[in-house]
Structure 1
Amino acid sequence: MAALGQVVVGVSGSLAGLAALRVAARAARDSGRVLVAVLAWEPPEGEVRYVRNPDSAWAARCARDAAARLDRVFEEAFGGTPPEATVVRRVVRSRPDRALGRPAARPEDLLVLGARTGARIAALRPRVPAHARCPVLTVPAPAFARRERRALRRAMARDFADFAAG
């Protein structure tokens, strides 16, 4: 399995991130690769300020919150862990470009990124190839009207169970 590489996806919880996670899961399943979902986090005030006034209890809480957010993203995207793929979840204290580039280090890997807006992905794109040594696939956010986006953000997988059954 290691010779196949892995599919690495950046997870943020945005609509683009959810779309990227779904595309990455499908790519991992179809190719027989491991899906590595990475959620990068940094202290809200930044690492420089944290270094000046470190608080290990606070940092541990931020890491737990990030892990809970990663679990919520999988719940929102699939209703849990997709059974048809081998999934590794990683919560990394780092900038997203570094956190994503490290696991996507081999040419046979695939890095999948959600593209929320052209400006945001354009800002990330130059940094990612500096760390990733594999193909990079960007997945656009689905196009929805503002009120539809608000409704979808509040929806859970169970909200669609009746729809799928009927």
Structure 2
Amino acid sequence: MADGDVSADEGRMVVGVSGSLGSLAALHHAVAEARRTGVEVLAVLCWTPPGDEYGYRRTPCPPVVDAGRAAAVARLRQALDEAFAGRYAGVRLRCQTVRGETAHTLVRCADRPDDVLVLGAGRERGRLSRLIRPSITAYCVQRATCPVLTVPRPPLRRDLEALERGHGLRDLVAGN
């Protein structure tokens, strides 16, 4: 799924892609910037085996890893199809599925000084969930050696979240 090679000193737009609306907005933003500047876009989908790395280390099973890798490749292809409706993006676009925890892996992938790491803004989270698992965006901003660009949530995502909150409140009031 690679499209052209890039010299080691040329910057890239490294984009975390998961298939979420936020990650697709980040991908669109990176592609628009790449059209303007001529840099390559590297779309990265991070994945871990079912049960996460800790579970896999306890009970290794190569077919499970193969299935996880295949699912990640399929998810990345689907995300690209959804982002560009099956058409050519109009830029040098290289895609990778990388095994590893998302935040750490994205920071490792955006390792050139001229890179820009592009992330979609995550879903609003409560205080407790932020304590248990820090956000990918916060981790990347704190540890990346290149600039990090966070693309705001698209209006559709904000509307969907508002509907979800309103629906949950109606259920609570109705006693369901």
**TM bucket by the smaller chain?**
0.7 to 0.9
Instruction: Check conservation: 1:81, 1:87, Cα contact below 8 A.
Output: no
- Structure 2: segments with no counterpart, 5+ residues: 1-5, 165-176
Of residues 112, 128, 132 in structure 1, which corresponds to 2:144?
Answer: 132
Question: CA–CA distance in 2 between the matches of 1:83 and 1:39?
Answer: 17
Which amino acid is the alignment partner of residue 160 of structure 2?
R
Give the equivalent residue in structure 2 for 1:157: none
Residue 57 (structure 2) aligns with: 51
Kindly report which structure 2 residues correspond to 1:1-166, keeping only aligned pairs within 5 A, or say none: 2=7, 3-80=9-86, 82-119=88-125, 123-144=135-156, 145-146=159-160
- The secondary structure found in structure 1 opposite 2:135 is helix
Compute the TM-score of the two structures, normalised by the length of structure 1: 0.80
Amino acid at match of 1:111: L
Q: What is the CA-CA distance between 1:69 and the residue it aligns to? A: 0.5
CA deviation after TM superposition for structure 1 residue 58, in Å: 1.3
Task: Flag the 1:49–1:5 CA change in 2: closer, same or farther, 3 A.
Answer: same
The count of corresponding residues between Structure 1 and Structure 2 is: 149
Shift of 1:107: 2.1
**Cα shift at 1:116:** 2.7
RMSD over equivalenced CA pairs, Å: 2.3
Whole-Å separation in 1 of the counterparts to 2:28 and 2:51: 31
**Alpha-carbon separation, structure 2, partners of 1:81 and 1:99:** 28
The 1:25–1:56 alpha-carbon spacing in structure 2 relative to 1, beyond 3 Å, is same
CA offset digits 1:98-149 (Å, max 9, x no partner):
22112211221111001132437x72233214542111011122123339x9
Q: Runs of 4 or more off by more than 4 Å in structure 1?
A: none
Per the alignment, in what secondary structure is the counterpart of residue 114 of structure 2? coil
